[in-house]
Amino acid sequence: LSTKNFDHEKFKWTTDLNFSLNRNKVTDLGSTTQSLDFAGIYERDAAVRVVTGMPLGSFYGYVFTGVNPATGAAQYADTNGNGVTGSADPGDRTFIGSAQPKFIYGMTNNLTYGNWNLNIFFQGVQGSQLFNATRIDLEGMFDSKNQSTAVLDRWTTPGQITNIPKALRSSSENSLTSSRFVEDASYLRLKTATLSYSFGQSVLEKLRMSKITLFATGYNLLTFTKYSGLDPEVNVSSANGPNMGVDFGTYPQSRSILFGVNVGF
């Protein structure tokens, strides 16, 4: 959708809007395969499962229900109803989220005043989730790795109310692949902004040139999101692969500014 907001001799302003939906599901894995697991995590189950009838990027694991205030142990829902509680039951693993967004949108504003031009592009994703596997290492208290400051709020005393289980040396029981690490990854990002100045005809004639434009472009300047990781727009692997939607120490997209000049002879 394109709109022409102002169209005067010196000032012009146009807006381009886009909106898209994507829906998919696995239709066939072959006669000998029931499921495929991806995004394996050390000493824990894989975070992504591919099965017939479900979309790609479906997270699979335990449903985290909190921390037992008496023992400090992580609690997981008894989804299969067999009555096994108090420890993780592999039969309770289920689908716990999806990397597939509900919709994707964008907006470009182009403003021109005299010889100046400003182009601003906002990009948004709504309803997507990320499995923050980085937190498993930084909050797991499982081995000798350095931990984040979040573990300062871990359970230490009977009766304590917290959402960080107690430390368990050499046991991943309190940091299994679960909904605890599935986060809302919706975001709105100022993806690019370009400010430029084009010299007028009188200057160009003196320099015997057809065009001189100075510009500065900024990338990833602002991001609005509830995601606790460094960047909601990342994947440990290809964004289109079966293990999409997993953030495991993934390097974030950088904020950068580019200066340049376009000339024509």
Nearest to 194 by CA among 252, 260, 264: 260
Count CB neighbours of 189 within 10 A: 22
Least confident of 147-161, 173-187, 235-249: 235-249
Find out whether 176 and 76 touch, Cβ atoms under 8 Å. Answer: yes
- Judged against a pLDDT cut of 70, whether residue 240 lies above it is answered with no
Q: Is 153 helix (H, G, I), strand (E, B) or coil?
A: helix
Find out whether 55 and 27 touch, Cβ atoms under 8 Å. Answer: no
Reported pTM? 0.89
Q: Is 193 helix (H, G, I), strand (E, B) or coil?
A: strand
Provide the pLDDT for residue 78. 92
Torsion angle (degrees, nearest 10) of CA 66, 167, 252, 188: 20
Q: Bridge-partner residues for 96, per DSSP?
A: none
- Judged against a pLDDT cut of 90, whether residue 87 lies above it is answered with no
Find out whether 198 and 211 touch, Cβ atoms under 8 Å. Answer: yes
- Judged against a pLDDT cut of 80, whether residue 236 lies above it is answered with no
Q: Is 112 helix (H, G, I), strand (E, B) or coil?
A: strand
pLDDT, the chain, mean: 92
Show the tokens assigned to 208.
């015997």
Least confident of 83-92, 100-109, 189-198, 215-224: 83-92
- For the segment 3-21, the average pLDDT, to the nearest whole number, is 95
| pLDDT classification of 239: cutoffs 50, 70, 90 | low
φ/ψ bin of 242: left (φ > 0), alpha (ψ from -120 to 50), beta (otherwise): alpha
Provide the pLDDT for residue 188. 98
- Judged against a pLDDT cut of 90, whether residue 81 lies above it is answered with no
C-alpha separations of 228 from 45, 127, 130, 232 in Å: 22, 15, 10, 8
- For the segment 172-186, the average pLDDT, to the nearest whole number, is 95
| pLDDT classification of 237: cutoffs 50, 70, 90 | low
Q: Where are the domains of the chain?
A: 2-264
- Judged against a pLDDT cut of 90, whether residue 123 lies above it is answered with yes
